[in-house]
Amino acid sequence: MMEMEKYIHICPIFTYVMRSPASYANFLVQETINIKTISDVDYAVNRLVKIYLLYHEENNFSCRILLPKGDDRSSRVTAKSFGLNLQNAFLRAIKKKKLKPNIKQVRYVHDGSHYGWILASPTLINEFNV
C-alpha cells in the first residue's frame, strides 16, 4: 500500500514532498550533481542556475543533488550543512537574476552512501506523484 503523501512547507519558495524513497531514485532529471566536499557547492550552484535559466519558463526544471550519507552523526551534520549552503547560494543567485523561484524539493535516502535531493518545477513533481 502506498504511503499517503505529506506536504510540509519549509519556506514559500521550496515545498517539501515525502513519498516512497525508491520511486524518487528513478525520477528523471536534467542533471545529477554529486556533492562530496564543500568546494563542490559552488560548482553545483552554477550548474543549477544555468539549468534553471534554461528550463524554468517551460516549468521543466529538474535536478538531483546527491549528498554524502554516513552512519555517524557528523556525516549527517555535514550533509545538512552542504544542503543549506547550496540552497541559500542558489536562491541568492536566482534572485540576483531578478527571477522568482518556483521550485519544489524532495529529500530522500538515495542509496546506502547518499542522500538524494530533487529540486524541480512543481508541475513535474505533481505529475510524478499522481
CATH number at residue 113: 3.30.110.10
Domain count, the chain: 1
In terms of pTM, does the model score above 0.75? yes
**Does any domain span residue 76?**
yes
| C-alpha separations of 56 from 8, 14, 23, 73 in Å | 23, 14, 23, 36
Torsion angle (degrees, nearest 10) of CA 78, 23, 106, 51: 90
How far from chain centre, in Å, is Cα 97? Answer: 20
**Does any domain span residue 61?**
yes
- Domain residues for 69? 6-129
d(C-alpha 69, C-alpha 76), whole Å: 7
**Does any domain span residue 1?**
no
**Does any domain span residue 36?**
yes
**Does any domain span residue 97?**
yes
For residue 119, what pLDDT is reported?
A: 94
**Does any domain span residue 16?**
yes
Q: What is the pLDDT along the chain (130 residues), one digit of tens a residue?
A: 334 343 333 344 444 444 455 678 888 899 999 999 999 999 999 999 999 999 988 989 999 999 998 888 878 888 889 999 999 999 999 999 999 889 999 888 888 889 999 999 998 988 887 5
